[in-house]
Chain A
Amino acid sequence: IINTVQLSTSDYDPACLPDLLPIYYRRLFPFSQYYRWLRYGGVSKNYFQNREFSFTLKYDIYVRYQSFTTQNELEKEMPKMVPYKIDIGAVYSHRPSQHNVVKSGTFQALEKELVFDIDMTDYDDVRRCCSAADICSKCWTLMTIAIRILDRALREDFGFHHLLWVYSGRRGVHCWVCDDAARKLSVAARAAVAEYLSLVKGGEETVRKVVLSDPIHPFINHSLSVVERYFQQYAIVDQDILGSKESVDKVLALLPEDILSFPDLAVSYKDEKDPMKQWDRLCDLVERKKSNSRKGGQYFDKEIMLQYCYPRLDVNVSKGVNHLLKSPFSVHPKTGRISVPIDLKELNTLILLSLICEELERPRADEAEEDDMKDQENEQEAGERRRIRDYKRTSLAKYVKVFDRFLEAMARSRKGEMLKKSDLQKDF
């Protein structure tokens, strides 16, 4: 299945943010689900109250150590402060908003979800369709590949169950691993997980960034089977990596030296016109030559595929317990897009904030009267009802559903844990 990305064609103007954001926070932001998430069932006392949020306000003013005591407070403050960007940090030993009055040295980050940040700009050396902050349907496949590989590994190898994948709002995806065990991981453990998941290594100075040798670890084999599914369509066709001399040279540069020295290599595969067949031909030629080569280069084709497709993580984002990461349902001020949860069954559509507000302004006459009557009963409930009505009218609804399913799964698992514990206690 080839995934397509629907990017809105209407232009977004950041100048609209001061007008649209308050509406977004008053009527659309899913506060009750958000609070339900970060409360984690209330198993740990003050878990929500000790969570750090950071806001980027108008004029680029950045404030850290925001914290809230209840869902209500959150709902009141956000439309008032109108953050342009929201980041989530760690759960601390004390309320972050009071970190200044706490005895020095005792205010510490205790827990946080294990997070991963995949940013499209880290692939600039291997994608030709866009660069920097642009993304398109051709390179979005890289995100699909990244999600499939990492999701499998985090679940099957590491035993995690509660993963929330979120579109970053601009040019990548984030993964929030929310299991209890994940939230309690040390800095060293987070770094180790991130390193385990890293295959593409080296900076500007390294040409060959993936090196495979025997034995091939089962993790690499799993990842390869994902990459192989997408490689032909993505790299050969969409990115056209054999299409120009410059890009072919880049591919050839990844081959071992002694194979490159064969003169007919660069020329003969060009007999084929069909790029897919070119790739096969190239692999074939190298395969034949390599049997003469002394060392290495036996997995050259796999290394090339991995270098072009395998997920590139920033280990530093995953390492820190106190690292702040963009919140789900936060708006990206530069694109107007909302960081929405991704349904792994449908890796496509993105969402544009102004679209929602356009939808909101179209009143639905038939519902309006009935709603007005209910509103007169109770103001708070009315606010909540209005909010539910509002986002249900928009495309945000299905993303909130994805989030709901995720929350349900966590709740079920917490219930299971509690039953287990009480069973154990009953044993004599």
Chain B
Amino acid sequence: RQFYQRARRRKKLIGNFQNDLYDQCLQFYGQPPLENISLTEFETFAVERLKLLKTVENVGVSCGKSSEQYTKKLDAEISSLNFPHRGGISEYEKRRKDHISHFILRLAYCQTEDLRRWFIQQEMDLFRYRFNCLHSKHKTDFLHKNNLKYETVSAEEKKNLKDKLIASSYGLSGTKVEEHDVYKVPFQDALDLVRTRKVYLLAGNAYIPHHEIVTIVLNDFRTRLSKALAMTARSLPAVQSDERLQPLLSHLSHAYVGQDYSIQKNIGKISLEQIDALSGKSFPLCMRHLHKALRENHHLRHGGRMQYGLFLKGIGLTLEQALQFWRSEFVKGKVDADKFDKAYAYSVRHMFGKEGKRTDYTPYSCMKVILSNPPSQGDYHGCPFRHSDPELLKQKLQNYKVSPSGINQILELVKGMHYQLACQKYFELTHNVEDAGFSLNHPNQYFTESQKLLNGGRDIKKEVDMSQRSQENPASVTHPSQANSKQAHEEMGDLDSFFQDE
């Protein structure tokens, strides 16, 4: 809190601190910076870190975080961003910026659950990337410096458990077990490894080989950051009372969201009779799939109802229409009108913000559909490009009359884990265009763009952007991160001009 109040004054710096303070390119951000900086630096640092985090996000989505390209791409992108990178010589300024900008962004991103989740995710990915860049010895140094003393397993126990350890941890050989430390950690501290079953468990302890310790460290990082954000949120009102900081902070936190389709445009312009036809023409594959399942089974489970129901709200259905839609379908199934009114109508109204907490739920973005709540037996929600068996996906696309070469392109993208690009390709093939002209990240965006295309394109500005992009990037498929970071730069451009006006 002291720090933020001091930010009002001019820049001052005490020379001796330099070398000790930032002797590692990586840190836990445990201590807030204790200096004064100018308002200009405050703003610049914040925007630059936001650029950094958005880059981390974009590379993650387009590459898949466990792919080989991921690190290479991040290397390439981050090196041009003027942040600490692989421990160069004159890193002091960059590390200082890293430190300060992190704390500034905490202010902007502590306010809501969604913002916190996003910020923590990107900071974690950044941390993981940097930690993995360290040499093994530096990793151990870092751990010790930060008081992470995990209990090591005795040589005897290692010998007894050797086969089991090798069978549980990828890339662990007999020699590695003998020569390097294995750590024993309560399973609650190693949840990522437990969840994916990438570790040996015995009597409630996880046995972690040295090279895997980063996952544990990340867990620790997440916990600390989460707590810190909660505390920051509490002292926020004091900061927001500063008129110069407040507009910057609120602009920063809105910048990442993009359109969330929570405000309904075109309310009531869609009639229920149109939905069948629209599902074939303008729905993304996931919604088309859900709609078909609903028509065939006269039922959808909770996950499907949420994903599809919110999408329908986003395209403009009114509450009355939605109730009528769901009731007429469920009644054809095993649910009588009474039961519908008792059990399901409530949740439809809930979606529209008319019950319970009365928050207006926003339609799910592609990221949300892809990353959370995977479907299980009897479910139809999720992203078909992510969650369907490739064989079944292929059959479905064939049924929908997509060309064989088109199907192959889509399957290639799916194999590379570029699910949104695969959906974009589906858009291009079903609308018969070379280039979708937009970067898909939301099912309702798919719908809007499709309608625009089919109805002759009302928005003149979008058309200009589309033609510009198709000139610069004829094969938008092969340069996903460019397209995404282009988008990021455009958004950043808006922010920059905001500052220049000041």
Contacts and interface: CB of A to CB of B under 8 A. Distances in A.
Interface of A: 60, 121-122, 124-125, 156-160, 181, 185-186, 188-189, 191-193, 195-196, 201-208, 215-219, 221, 312, 314
Given A205-B389, A215-B170, A219-B197, A189 B191 contact: yes
B364 interface: no
* 10 shortest interchain CB distances as A-B pairs: A159-B204, A203-B375, A192-B195, A157-B201, A159-B203, A192-B191, A205-B388, A203-B379, A195-B195, A215-B167
Interface string B375-417: 1111110101001110111000000000000000000000000
B197 A160 contact: no
Contacts of B72: none
A186 B389 CA distance: 32
B333 interface: no
B200 interface: yes
Given A157-B201, A201-B376, 12 more contacts: A122-B378, A124-B377, A156-B202, A158-B204, A159-B202, A191-B195, A192-B194, A192-B195, A195-B194, A203-B387, A217-B200, A312-B376
B342 interface: yes
Given A195-B196, A203-B382, A205-B384, A188 B191 contact: yes
A124 to B, nearest CB: 8
A215 B168 contact: yes
A184 B418 CA distance: 38
B160 to A, nearest CB: 13
B308 to A, nearest CB: 15
A57 to B, nearest CB: 14
Contact of A202 (B187, B192, B377): B377
A182 to B, nearest CB: 10
B391 A60 contact: no
Contact of B195 (A158, A196, A206): A196
B205 interface: yes
A102 to B, nearest CB: 16
Contact of B164 (A186, A188, A218): A218
Of B375, B376, B378, which is in contact with the most chain A CB atoms at under 10 Å from its CB?
A: B376
Interface in B147-201: 164, 166-168, 170, 187-188, 191-192, 194-197, 200-201
Contacts of A208: 389
Contacts of A206: 387-389, 392
B457 interface: no
Nearest to A197: B197
A202 B387 CA distance: 7
A196 B375 contact: no
Of B188, B200, B202, B393, which is in contact with the most chain A CB atoms at under 10 Å from its CB?
A: B188
A217 B378 contact: no
A314 B303 CA distance: 13
Contacts of B474: none
Contact of A201 (B168, B188, B374): B374
A299 to B, nearest CB: 14
A260 to B, nearest CB: 11
Nearest to B204: A159
Contact of B377 (A125, A156, A188): A125
B389 A219 contact: no
How big is the B interface, by class? 35 or more
Contacts of A192: 191-192, 194-195
Interface string B454-496: 0000000000000000000000000000000000000000000
A257 to B, nearest CB: 8
A193 B203 contact: no
Contact of A205 (B168, B205, B392): B392
A160 B204 contact: yes
A140 to B, nearest CB: 19
A159 B184 CA distance: 14
Contacts of A205: 375, 380, 384, 387-389, 392-393
B176 to A, nearest CB: 13
B342 to A, nearest CB: 7
Nearest to A213: B170
Contacts of B378: 121-122, 203-204
B204 A312 contact: no
A196 B194 contact: yes
Nearest to B289: A205
9 contacts: A160-B204, A188-B191, A193-B194, A195-B196, A196-B194, A196-B195, A202-B376, A205-B388, A219-B197
B117 to A, nearest CB: 12
Given A203-B376, A218-B167, A157 B202 contact: yes
Given A202-B387, A205-B387, A207-B389, A218 B204 contact: no
B222 to A, nearest CB: 9
A221 B378 CA distance: 28
Interface in B330-380: 342, 374-380
Contacts of B389: 202, 205-208
A189 B191 CA distance: 6
B472 to A, nearest CB: 37
A217 B200 CA distance: 8
Contacts of A207: 389, 391-392
Nearest to A181: B204
Contact of A218 (B200, B342, B393): B200
Contacts of A125: 377
Contacts of B164: 218
A217 B167 contact: yes
Nearest to B384: A205
B387 A218 contact: no
B157 to A, nearest CB: 15
Given A181-B204, A196-B197, A218 B168 contact: yes
A281 to B, nearest CB: 26
B380 A203 contact: yes
Given A189-B191, A205-B388, A312 B203 contact: no
Contacts of B168: 215, 217-218
Nearest to B301: A203
Of A159, A185, A221, A312, which is in contact with the most chain B CB atoms at under 10 Å from its CB?
A: A159
